Amino acid sequence: MTELEKVSRETMRFMRGKYVLDEVAGKYYDIDCLKFRQGKRTILSINIHEDHYDFQIIFGKAEREVFEARLGEFPETIQDLYNKSHVLPDGLWMLIRVDNLETLEAVKQMILIKKKPNRKPFPKEQAVYGDCGHRCDLCVHFTGETISEEFRKELQERVRCVYGLRPDEEFPPCNGCSNGGITGKFDCDQIKCAKDKGVPRCMDCVDYDCGKASVGWKPAIEARSISADDVTWAILPYVDGQYGN
C-alpha cells in the first residue's frame, strides 16, 4: 500500500468514524472533489489529484481563535499557509496539500477544531463479531436473532444502493463464523485462510487487515455521493474495527 493510499484510507476511517455526514461528489473547477456536509454546511472538501489531495477547510471567527491559540502545535507549512491566507466574508479559506500521514494527522486536528465529533458510540449490548472484525449483528447476511426481518429488509435496500447491486440480488444467509460462515461448512475464504496460516481468526494474523479479511467496503477517497445514513448502515459494519471489537 502506497503512502497516498494510506492517507486515503485513514481519512475515510477518521471522517466516518468521528462524524455523521453526507458525502457529496462535486467539482472544484474541473477537479473531482468530495465534500463532507451536514445539511448545507460543508465541514471538509477534498480535491482529488493523482499524486495528492487538497483539503479545503474554512475557519470562522471562533474557530480561528481556537486555532491561533494552538498555532505552535502545527507544522510550519500549515502555520505559514494560515498566516498568508485572507479572511473572506464567509471565513478564512485554506487549501492544504496532503500526500503523507504526518500532514494528515495535523489536518485531522484542524477538522476537530472545525467541528466536534457527532457520531455516538454504537450500542454493543447485542454485538456479534465476525473473525474479520465485522459487526455480524449489523450485517445483511446475518441470520441471528439480534436482527429483525424489518431491519434486514432496510439493510438490503441500503446495501443494494451503496454497492450497486440489482434489485433482485440475493444475500446468502450466514449464521456467523463460529457456526461455519455462509456455507455452514467453515470453508469461507477468510476461515480457510486463517486456518492455513495457523491462527484462530483473521484478526490474530500478522497480515491483518489484508484484502481477504474484509469482504465489505474498503475506505477510499472518491468523488461519490453517499448519504450519512447509508454510511452508517451499509458501510461501517463492514469496515474492520470501525464499530469496535
User: Mean pLDDT per 10-residue run, the chain (245 residues)?
Assistant: 94 94 96 97 97 97 97 96 92 96 98 96 79 82 81 90 89 83 77 87 82 66 96 85 57
Collapsing DSSP states into helix, strand and coil, what is residue 95? strand
What is the rounded CA–CA span in Å between residue 68 and residue 76?
A: 13
What is the rounded CA–CA span in Å between residue 15 and residue 55?
A: 13
The pTM of the full predicted model, rounded to 2 decimals, is: 0.87
| Closest C-alpha among 187, 191, 215 to residue 204 | 191
Secondary structure letter of residue 93 according to DSSP: E
pLDDT at res. 45: 98
Secondary structure letter of residue 119 according to DSSP: P
pLDDT at res. 85: 93
What is the rounded CA–CA span in Å between residue 107 and residue 137?
A: 34
pLDDT at res. 135: 83
pLDDT at res. 245: 43
Give 47's strand partners. 33, 54
Amino acid (one-letter) located at 102: E
Query: Residue written as cell 463464523?
Result: 177
- Cis bond before residue 209 (omega within 30° of 0): yes
In 85-232 the beta strands, taken as DSSP E runs, fall at 87-88, 91-98
Residue 54 contacts residue 96 (beta carbons within 8 Å): yes
pLDDT at res. 181: 77
| Closest C-alpha among 89, 76, 188 to residue 132 | 188
Q: What's the residue count for the chain?
A: 245
Beta-carbon count within 10 A of 147 CB: 19
What is the rounded CA–CA span in Å between residue 209 and residue 133?
A: 9
pLDDT at res. 179: 80
Residues 224, 228, 232, 233: what is their CA dihedral angle, to the nearest 10 degrees?
Answer: -80
